[in-house]
Chains A and B, each alone.
Chain A
Amino acid sequence: MADLSIEFCGVKSPNPFWLASAPPTNTGDQVKRAFAAGWGGAVWKTLGNPIVNVSSRFGGVDYGSTRMMGLNNIELITDRPLQVNLDEMADVKKHYPDHTLIASLMVDTREEWHEIIQKVEDVGSDMLELNFGCPHGMCERGMGSAVGAEPEVLKTIVGWVMEKANVPVIVKLTPNVGDIAEPARAALEAGADAVSLINTVKSIVGVDLDRMVPLPVVGNGSSNGGYCGPAVKPIALHLLGQTAKVFPKPISGIGGISTWRDAAEFMALGSTSVQVCTAVMHYGYRIVEDMIEGLSDFLDEKGMDSAMDLVGKAVPQYKDWGDLDLNYHVVADIDPDKCIGCQLCFVACMDGSHQCIHIPGMSDEDKKKAGHVAFPTDVPDRPVTAKGGTPGARIPYVHEEECVGCNLCALVCPVEGTITMVEKRKAPESETWNDRVAAGKDLVPGGLDATRKARGAD
């Protein structure tokens, strides 16, 4: 069995699964229940001067019959007295000395930072996480994402923290920036030991059309909030990938992680630990059992002895577009035994891609009318034979010469495994756009006159 324990900035953690700073880490009782369920660490709900919260606070986005694909909140940092939190943190550390306890902090002045750091270190916090990410309520007060989006301000504050802190410092980044590399570099330059990302994405999840108030409704108004949950995973993965390129120290990945596979993906793209909030708010601490088991089995299957071996495995393969091989080419291939003849691929290719999927039996005239631009001869006329197929329907035919290999048909096909993308290289050797630029072969015919002239192509 693979060793799931990790080392993060020198701190040992039983596994990479941590709870993000949020309602699931609001109180000591909660964190103790979470550790008992198997979570390896917890970032306490952000501490600072207690705030006042509104009601209601959360909005959900459903997709089809799937509940809460995305979650939005307008909650602030902890609303509990600091001392109550501190006492509970000490108690958690007493019961779970080997689990990772991280204090999330958000205060304003240098004196406040120094005071709160002293206090959370005194109760045994293993690390600090600076919340420079909260996109609502706190930024208007010059904290949270107001800091995260201003590299210079971020550097100053991290500087204050580094003067005082004795334990490793993690800077939590906001996704609400143009280029995540800027705050990541600023954190590095200021001496931070690690970064975590992402905090929530600025959002409005909907509008109550009866009251004409955005969601979530607070009396006669609402405010923009922070978006998280499975919906933000692709955004988080991208920002993580960008950060991993410029930040050579440990990263804690956050954003939409719900399963062991999500966690494995974040680790492959550079996270040493992963943090979870929404999935726990939806299903409870119990989901960690599946995450631990799934990751452990996955590592065993891949022959990795330790979770640490997975960290960053996919980072080198995350490249700039200009470094991708232009001679790599795939074409769609339809399995005639599985196709049910729904023609979703046909319509997707006709209206959303390159008009290269044909329905057998159409005359060239009909094809022209339908919108085809190329007319293959010998389109095989194959009736659908799969169970549940449309009676009399024909298996669509992919005109390979025209197929650009975009994946769209395979993405829309409802019968998994029916459309596979088959590799048909254009040439054995690799050629990237950057190679073309270097060779001066990057002018694609059919462009503007002004460009041709400027490039001296005529």
Chain B
Amino acid sequence: MTRLPDDRLETKLPDKAPLYTRPEAITEANRCIYCVDAPCVQACPTGIDIPTFIHKIATDNVKGSARTIFAANLLGTSCARVCPVEVLCAGSCVYNHWGREPIAIGRLQRYATENAIAQDAELLSKTRKPATGKTIACIGGGPASLAAAGHLALDGHTVHVYEKRAVAGGLNTTGVAPYKLHSEASLAEVELILALGDIELKTGVEIVDGEAGEGQVLVAKLAADYDAVFIGIGLGPDNALGVEGEEGEGSVGAVEYIERLKLESGMGLDGIGTALVVGGGNTAIDIARELAQLGVPDVAMVYRKTEAAMSGYHHEMVDARKDGVRLVENRQPTGVVREGGKVTGLKVKATDTGAEETLACDLVAMAIGQSRLTKLAAAFGGVELDGKGRVQVDPATHRTGNPKVYAGGDCVNGGKEVVNAAQHGKLAARAITASFGGEEN
């Protein structure tokens, strides 16, 4: 497994929901009603049979519990920790309506998956089908591709995963808030997937169109060499605001900066007294919370509308305030102010009154969305994009306009959650196996 440096900033942020002990898990599992037509299952994008896996925890059948989870979601280990359960499964648990805490589904899922894997590393690979001789390429080593690769490997196929970065796992490794999931845990999950069957991970290899340089492979080559291709390239770099002073040190893209917090050796935040985060989505809240938890004395989010219009989750904003994050509403940034190259403030204009002011700061992080990489997808003949640059697929099979090419994850939905990527990968893998005339796992 890739060894990450020990002195990464993210290591300073402890797990916010640590692994349950056995008595904790069993007590919580026994609260679950074991609903038959359970609302929580409907709310899970991968449709995990939640009451069954929780019942199995209650009977101390931990391995069986994990089998139930993985059958629906091969990334059950990371999803247990990164899923916004408050708006998914747990958010729809019957207990919410009885003035009681919903079942801690995410934490129970973590208990089952981590303990089962610790007890039996071959829990899943035992169910692998015999080799089929088919080979599939996955572009990108993020959640969508990993889910697809895992299911395909269990169906007996050979899979090559091409990842341009040095580490796989996609945003689970480079982007998700460390107090939910640290990079090592994401890499451990990558290893788990790789061990499911005949999967070769090729890191540091970028798939390109046009001409291939060092460490690059052409789309045309994939189209020619493989029986099917899955595209899971996610989204591109942070969007820029396009205002004066934005270029240069001290003004950063949020996703890129989070990647540094998570992976870079010896990074420090000294000298940052005030950090301003531009945006109102979940990435904005995440980076604000991370900076606040890492000790930046003053962190504020600057948002152009009111809180009610924010796309970030309400429960996350509530927790952000507990971390000390301020929210500055109705402000549109118009420029980054620098003195001698160093950032000293952010010029903003009030969207209601039009008044202008400069907010003093030492760091500005832009969290206003990510660009699209999907031109690459369109390089496969027949693959189409929609007006927002999303790869168009048939929702049941995740097949693109090219019958050999499938796609899933953020590059298809424009940026949702890991669990959606896991579902897309699963659906595509099933359809790919079916297209070979085989039986899917």
Contacts and interface: CB of A to CB of B under 8 A. Distances in A.
B52 A290 contact: yes
Contact of A261 (B23, B31, B59, B63): B59
B56 to A, nearest CB: 5
17 contacts: A65-B31, A259-B61, A261-B60, A283-B55, A289-B64, A290-B52, A290-B55, A290-B56, A293-B56, A293-B64, A294-B56, A294-B61, A294-B64, A297-B63, A415-B23, A416-B23, A417-B23
Given A283-B34, A284-B36, A294 B59 contact: yes
B61 to A, nearest CB: 4
A347 B63 CA distance: 39
Contacts of B31: 65
B52 A297 contact: no
B128 interface: no
Nearest to B34: A283
Interface of A: 65-66, 259-261, 283-284, 286-287, 289-290, 293-294, 297, 415-417
B67 interface: yes
Contact of B64 (A65, A66, A284, A297): A297
Size bin of chain B's contact surface: 10 to 19
A66 B32 CA distance: 10
B36 A290 contact: no
Q: Interface majority SS on B: helix, strand, loop or mixed?
A: helix
Contacts of A287: 55
Contacts of B21: 416
A229 to B, nearest CB: 15
A155 B362 CA distance: 94
Nearest to A298: B61
Nearest to B27: A416
B12 interface: no
A293 B67 CA distance: 10
Given A415-B23, A416-B23, A417-B23, A286 B52 contact: yes
Given A293-B67, A294-B64, A297-B61, A416 B56 contact: no
Contacts of B67: 293
Contacts of B55: 283, 287, 290
Contacts of A293: 56, 61, 63-64, 67
Interface string B40-64: 0000000000001001100111011
A259 B30 CA distance: 13
B22 interface: yes
Contacts of A261: 59-60
A220 B52 CA distance: 41
Nearest to A289: B52
Contacts of A66: 30
Contacts of B22: 416
A37 B383 CA distance: 43
Nearest to A292: B64
A440 B34 CA distance: 58
B59 A290 contact: yes
Given A286-B52, A290-B56, A293-B56, A260 B61 contact: yes
A96 to B, nearest CB: 23
A297 B64 CA distance: 8
Contacts of A286: 52
A20 to B, nearest CB: 19
Contacts of A284: 36
A367 to B, nearest CB: 32
Interface in B195-252: none
Nearest to A286: B52
Contact of A260 (B23, B36, B59): B59
Interface in B1-53: 21-23, 30-31, 34, 36, 52
B335 to A, nearest CB: 49
Contacts of B23: 415-417
A278 B211 CA distance: 69
A165 B36 CA distance: 42
A289 B64 CA distance: 9
A261 B67 CA distance: 18
A415 B21 CA distance: 11
Contacts of B56: 290, 293-294
Contacts of B61: 259-260, 290, 293-294, 297
A234 B60 CA distance: 20
Contacts of B36: 284
B107 to A, nearest CB: 16
Nearest to A418: B23
Nearest to B67: A293
Interface in B64-99: 64, 67
**Can you list the 9 inter-chain pairs with the closest CB atoms, starting with the nearest?**
A416-B23, A293-B64, A294-B61, A259-B59, A290-B56, A297-B63, A290-B61, A290-B59, A283-B34
B27 to A, nearest CB: 9
